[in-house]
Structure formats: structure tokens, C-alpha cells
Amino acid sequence: MRYEFILPDFTPRSANEYTFAKVGQRIRRKAGDRDLVAHYARQSGIPRATGKRRVSLVVTLAKGGRAVDPDNAWKGILDGLKQAETIVNDSYLWVELGAYTINRGERRETLVVLEDL
């Protein structure tokens, strides 16, 4: 099965936004991103994961928006999906990283696509 949901007005953070922030800021940013992803994943009605899933991202940047490197995009997304139980775990045993696509558009958003394997 294939499932998808949109994170409105959200694009993944750069690793630098986590790494070089003060401890309190870093914790709040990670928790905020994780909670946002979990909220929209639950709201979309995706069933609880029981097996391995592929996760793909389509990031739409608004005018002047800057894309993060693909290796930076996954952490907050996967943590939120795990919290929402739409993936079993974020280890390679349970998740396959799919495509990471960047588009330009009128407003920023991130489309998350989950596929049962």
C-alpha cells in the first residue's frame, strides 16, 4: 500500500540548525519538528506500521527558499513517523529511504510518501 500526507509550510531543517544551536534550542527544534510530523501523520489516517516501509520526500520550496542537503532531511521526519507509529523504527531493518525530490512552488511544503514493502 501507498500512503501520503503533506506538511504545510514546512521544509526539513539543515543539520546545522540542530548542531550549532544552544542545547535548549536544539531540543525544542527537534521536538517541534518531530511533533509536527507525528501530528500530520496521525491526522492522515495512515495505519500503524507492522513491517518495513519506504519513505520518500517531495520538498517544495517557495521563492527564495533554500534546499537542505538530502542527508540532512531525514532525521526529523523519521523521528516523527516513529512517534506516530507509521514506521516501526527508523533503523535500516524497518525503513528504506526513498527519493528526495526538490521542487519550486508558490508556498513551501513537504509531501511524505510511505510505501509498504
Whether 69 shows a pLDDT value over 80: the answer reads no
pLDDT at 18 over 70: no
- Out of 12-16, 24-28, 43-47, pick the least confident: 12-16
What does the pLDDT read at residue 60? 93
Asked if residues 40 and 67 have their Cβ atoms less than 8 Å apart, the reply is: no
CA angle (67 as vertex; 64, 70 as ends), nearest 5:
175
Confidence of residue 70 (pLDDT cuts 50, 70, 90): confident
